[in-house]
Amino acid sequence: MKLDRPVTGGPCWTELGTSDPEAAKGFYAALFGWRLETDPRQEAGGYTVAHLGDAAVAAISPLYQQSQPVAWNVSFAVTDADVAAETVGTAGGTVVVGPLDVFDVGRFAVAFDPGGAAFQLWQARTFPGAGLFNAPGSLGWVELLTRAPEQVAGFYTTVFGWTLSASEEYPQWGIEGADFGGLLAMDDKFPPEVPSHWLPYFAVEDVDITAEAAVAAGGSLLMEPTSVPDGPRIAVLKDPQGAVFGIHVAGEEG
């Protein structure tokens, strides 16, 4: 992505909700070289932040609700979570959690867009979000896979003020000319049980080697390493617990 830090409206954080946090920690630490720190407070519920050097880059947490799927979630920065939540509702989305305070670090809400994709709002206080983007092991791109592309295009431009390029093949989301993600219309190649969702892509030094390592560690390939015309080399993977994520070559963010 062309963003190198959290900015208002842009992706600022990604976190994994998983059925087996300990297994997930081992899988991703080996895959991306993360250093993991679990919040010791009981009320934090085992929330674990992944670091590269001193920079926080992602998080892993247990599932907090029975209905919560095993999945990576993407958070977008807002200046006021309550106002943003109201805008989500008036624009046709649905807020399902919050807004709620998270200690002194920020205020968040969980919402669904009109196409059914979940995302999170993050109002920073002491924690702005990821301290590193686009470097190997950190977030480098976010992609919305949706069955309602026309409907969600208007929703996100209203809620966050994003731009959306006019490309018919792969429209890209941006903030003031800085693209950070893409829009992929889901067709009949996607099984009907797969919902609309946001997919984080992590930058890596070598897509093929990383994909092989993920499979060897118990993950699976959903899309084999592929070189996108006029774009990066990418792959889409599923971790051993079922969470889907993408990888791409660092330095080729779009």
Neighbours of 146 (CB within 10 A): 23
Same domain, 157 and 105: no
pLDDT tens for 52-91 read: 999 999 999 999 887 889 999 999 999 999 999 999 999 9
Residue 253's pLDDT band (boundaries 50, 70, 90)? Answer: low
Q: How far is CA 153 from CA 9, 177, 188, in A?
A: 15, 16, 20
Q: What is the pLDDT of residue 42?
A: 84
Same domain, 27 and 118: yes
Sign of the Cα torsion 71, 51, 215, 136 reads positive
d(CA 244, CA 71) in angstroms, rounded, equals: 7
Q: Residue 32 maps to which CATH number?
A: 3.10.180.10
| For range 220-228, the mean pLDDT | 96
Same domain, 239 and 145: yes
pLDDT tens for 123-161 read: 999 999 999 999 999 999 999 999 999 999 999 999 999
Q: What is the pLDDT of residue 254?
A: 52
Choosing from 74, 95, 124, the residue where a domain stops is: 124
Residue 132 lies in a domain: no
What percent of the chain has pLDDT above 70? 99
Q: What is the pLDDT of residue 229?
A: 86
Neighbours of 244 (CB within 10 A): 20
pLDDT at 183 over 60: yes
Instruction: Count the domains in the chain.
Output: 2
Do 33 and 137 form a contact (C-beta atoms < 8 A)? yes
Same domain, 29 and 113: yes
Residue 210 lies in a domain: yes
Same domain, 119 and 17: yes
pLDDT tens for 82-95 read: 999 999 999 999 99
Residue 5 lies in a domain: no
Model's pTM, two decimal places? 0.96
Choosing from 67, 101, 124, the residue where a domain stops is: 124
More confident residue, 167 or 244: 244
Same domain, 151 and 177: yes
Do 188 and 177 form a contact (C-beta atoms < 8 A)? no
Residue 133 lies in a domain: no
Neighbours of 224 (CB within 10 A): 11
* Beta-strand pair 55-62/71-77: unpaired
In terms of Cα–Cα distance, which of 197, 149, 190 is closest to 169? Answer: 149
Choosing from 78, 100, 124, the residue where a domain stops is: 124
Q: What is the domain range of residue 49?
A: 11-124
Same domain, 205 and 153: yes
